Amino acid sequence: MSKFQLITLSIFVISIIAGVTAFALYKGASNPNKLDPIIIWGTFPSETFNTYVAQINNLITDPLTIKYVEERPENFSQDFISALARGNGPDAILIPVDNILPHKDKIAPISYESIPQRTFVDTYIQEAGIYLDQNGILAIPFTVDPLVMYWNREMFDSAGIPVYPKTWDEFTNLNKKLTIKDQNGTIRKTAIAMGDFSNVSNAREILASLFMQTGNPITQMNKNQKVESTLIVGDTFDPISPLQFFSQFVDPTNVNYSWNRSMTDSKKAFLSGTLATYFGFASELASIRARNPNLNFDVASLPQARSGGTKATYALMLGFSLVRSSPNTATALKVISTLTAPEYMTKLSKTLYASSPRRDVIAQSSPDQYISIFNQSALIAKTWLDADPSKSKQLFGNMVNALTTGEKTIYQTIYDTKNQYDIMLGTSI
């Protein structure tokens, strides 16, 4: 081999060694903490979610890579099931707790080794306990939106009523002072909108709150680990009282008659200044302000029973669940843990102008007059495992209608509703 060939070969060998070394160094320099991309589907607004992720990425060294797909609530179940059947479903979902039960078999529970049950209970509001399953945690709470009471200050002051109602029985006296009828008996102004599902906004959630305030959980897990209805006459938490209270306001023969099916939607009535109290979600505050900037109103916690029972208000809670068929559940859990960390959830609450499902975020308190109410409501928030929110709304509406029209006795309508609900839940014998 000539001297020239020897030099050329040496350079070639050195180049190979240098290349291999550089590649090895490059691979070794990659950050092992950087998480792989994941896909999340949910009913939460995509613009808000992506903004939230961007805020977090500005604060961390290794940005999260998330493809978020927003689904319309009415389309989510069908689209989700179809995607799983095709083998291209998401790694995680972000949906209301009301929709957890129908998809429980598609969810990978988070083991109590990963998140101890005691840690979960201490971290989140009591409503989050519904996610605790015998096999693990079904979801990590992300947002909570409690039902509250909006009340018209001007109507109350004009009627000489200095304070808003804190208990339901106060509406008997309020109706006498706030409900105004013309000479034909037509209701022009009223204290409360209840008793009908066709024109009472959030009727399902209002009636459910009344049930839960008596201690009735609406559904429960039976000894066979099946979810069944607790709407049983004569049971420990008899549903007769809350159902009678809800329906009395549309009975023309009742002293508390203040609402009927011919009237406009309850939210529109409140916005127009003809309804003194409106039971809506905390998230509705902005829309109420925007739709009538001149409306003189305030916000309070949902009224409760004067004595006995349980303090409760329905709240719409969204949480992250891992998808069983995903090959990236470990990565998805790490991403979700970052998304629900307290330092970022505090920012989310400020962005949404809402309460948080995390107790440590609520504990930071707020000088804001509305957030303090939302926080108080979040602490007593409850919900139940439902088969289908739209179908249960129809079922509850039929129950109320059968009672108010006299089609059935209260005992028969509750009995029939219990049986129909169990069929929906898949626990009927």
pLDDT for 365 equals 78
Class for domain 38-145+316-382, per CATH? alpha beta
* Token pair of 388 as six digits: 């289908």
Task: Assess whether the region 38-145+316-382 and the region 147-314+386-425 belong to the same CATH fold.
Answer: yes
Structure tokens that stand for 98 in this block: 């009301």
Q: What value does the mean pLDDT of the chain take?
A: 92
Give the confidence band of 27 by pLDDT, cuts at 50, 70, 90. Answer: very low
* CA 231 vs CA 120, 227, 244, 412: distances in Å: 29, 13, 14, 12
Q: Residue 19 above 80 pLDDT?
A: no
pLDDT of residue 367: 87
Residue-level pLDDT at 28: 45
Residues with Cβ < 8 Å from 210, sequence gap 6 or more?
Answer: 168, 242, 243, 245, 246
pLDDT at 183: 86
Region 349-373 average pLDDT: 94
Position 48 scores a pLDDT of 97
Fold of 147-314+386-425: D-Maltodextrin-Binding Protein; domain 2 (3.40.190)
The 8 Å CB, 24+ separation contacts for 361-364 are: 362/125
Q: Are 47 and 54 in contact (CB under 8 A)?
A: no
| Per-residue pLDDT, 31 | 58
Quote the pLDDT of residue 118.
98
Asked whether the whole model's pTM tops 0.75, one would answer yes
For the stretch 285-343, pLDDT in tens is 999 999 999 999 999 999 999 887 899 999 999 999 999 999 999 999 999 999 999 99
Q: Scan for tokens 């409503």, then name that residue.
A: 127
| 244-288 pLDDT tens trace | 999 999 999 999 999 999 999 999 999 999 999 999 999 999 999
Parse the chain into domains and list their residue ranges: 38-145+316-382, 147-314+386-425
Interior/surface letters 67-97, b for 16+ CB within 10 angstroms, e for the rest: ebebbeeeebeeebeebbeeeebbbbbbbbb
pLDDT (tens digit, 9 = 90+) per residue, 75-107? 999 999 999 999 999 999 999 999 999 999 999
